[in-house]
Amino acid sequence: MEIAPMLAKAVPDVPDPDSVKGGLRYEPKWDGFRGIVTVDGDDVEIGSRGAKPLTRYFPELVEAFRAQFGGRGHPVVLDGEVILRSGAPGHEKLDWEALSQRIHPAASRIAKLSAETPAQFVAFDLLAADGDELVDLPFDERRARLEALSEDFADPLFVTRTTLDVDVARGWLTTFEGAGLDGVVAKPRTRAYEPGKRSMLKVKHHRTADVVAIGYRVHKSGSGVGSLLVGLYGDDGEVRQVGGVSAFSDKRRLALIDELDPVVVKDADGRPVTGAGESSRFSSGRDTSFVRLAPELVLEVRYDQMEGDRFRHTVQFERWRPDREATSCGFDQLEVPAAYDLRDVLS
């Protein structure tokens, strides 16, 4: 049973339950790899939201799915999130960096990491079980079937918690961030599963920070600024790259070339100085070189959360801040969520 995942559209706040006909059911928003898992006897497939199947990267999950569902006699299809947790007992949280390391081309490396940093799977929908295809059922009915199935779950398989209480969901938005989760999802209770459609609602954390422009990459078209590299000053007085800003319009990215030219670092012959950017396992072969900028221009950006000392996702440009001194843009301005044990979210 091949099926595209149902998607979510972003909203600014956790919506009231009566804002959608039939009401809403709320869940924590997990920060991992979306996966639709099909178990049919000994055959296990973990499909991703994109074109890259995840099956080969998580042999420990394949083994768990096969052990727990392989003998049922009918296919089981689950929608959920592949996650990875780390930390001492009582202080666990989601570990995106360790999870991203699991996408590796070498089979030997995959086998090693599957033992050293095993992943988990959190199910939040059930699309087929016991010979029934469930996609046309209302979500509340699918959830009831998932809860019945999850009675047999054992680590590394979990079922997400859920609530009908909007105040509880709003509390999760703040509390669960300390365990590495990145928001709340609201799902229409009476709607069928709608593959590829943004039928769910998601609320993520949004904050602002003043950062320093330290470089830019040329757009893939060869014209204009594709992305700005931004940094923050550490306690040692050195500026460190913390992320990037992109999604400029064609007109804006062309204008940025002229706006940034006064702070482009140039060599003795007047040519722009370039640097080599960090490569990514998700974009191997992509040119990551960038034009260096003197750390003088300050901009305000909107972000959701940090992963270590970097922005977890690409940040959004808000405005230039000519009133700020670049050296005043440090890590101390960033909001740090209170710690929360991930095991309490999974339980």
Q: Residue 2: is it exposed, middle or buried by C-beta count within 10 angstroms (0-12/13-18/19+)?
A: exposed
Tell me: do 200 and 247 sit in the same domain: no
CATH number at residue 131: 3.30.470.30
**What pLDDT was estimated at residue 281?**
45
Residue 202 DSSP SS3: strand
Same domain, 200 and 211: no
Poorest-confidence range of 36-50, 55-69, 85-99, 272-286? Answer: 272-286
Provide the residue range defining the domain that includes 134: 7-204
In the predicted model, is pLDDT for residue 28 greater than 60? yes
Number of independent structural domains in the chain = 2
Enclosing H/E stretch for 112:
helix 107-116
- Asked whether residue 244 falls in the same domain as residue 120, the answer is no
182 and 240 together in one domain: no
Burial class (CB in 10 A: 0-12, 13-18, 19+), 209: buried
The residue among 246, 164, 170, 162 whose CA lies nearest residue 205 is: 170
What Rg value do the Cα atoms of the chain yield, rounded?
A: 22
Does the annotation count 9 as an active-site position?
no
Domain assignment of residue 221, yes or no: yes
Full-model pTM: 0.74
- Type and span of the H or E element at 66: helix 59-69
276 is a domain residue: yes
Query: Residues 241, 145: one domain?
Result: no
Structural domain includes residue 339 = no
pLDDT higher at 113 or 52: 113
| Whole-angstrom distance, CA of residue 190 vs CA of residue 289 | 49
Rounded distance, CA 108 to CA 116, Å? 12
Tell me, yes or no, whether 46 lies in a domain: yes
Based on the domain organization, do 176 and 232 belong to the same domain? Answer: no
| CATH code of the domain containing 295 | 2.40.50.140
Question: Which string of DSSP letters, residue by residue, matches 137-202?
Answer: S-HHHHHHHHHHHHTT--TTEEE---BS-HHHHHHHHHHGGGGT--EEEEEETTPPP-TTSEEEEE
Catalytic, out of 21, 29, 187, 251: 29
* Position 225 in a domain: yes
Instruction: Give the H or E element holding residue 292.
Output: strand 289-292
Residue 187 lies in a domain: yes
In this structure, are 175 and 114 located in the same domain? yes
Tens digits of residue pLDDT in 273-285: 998 765 444 444 5
Q: Tokens 């959004």 identify what position?
A: 316
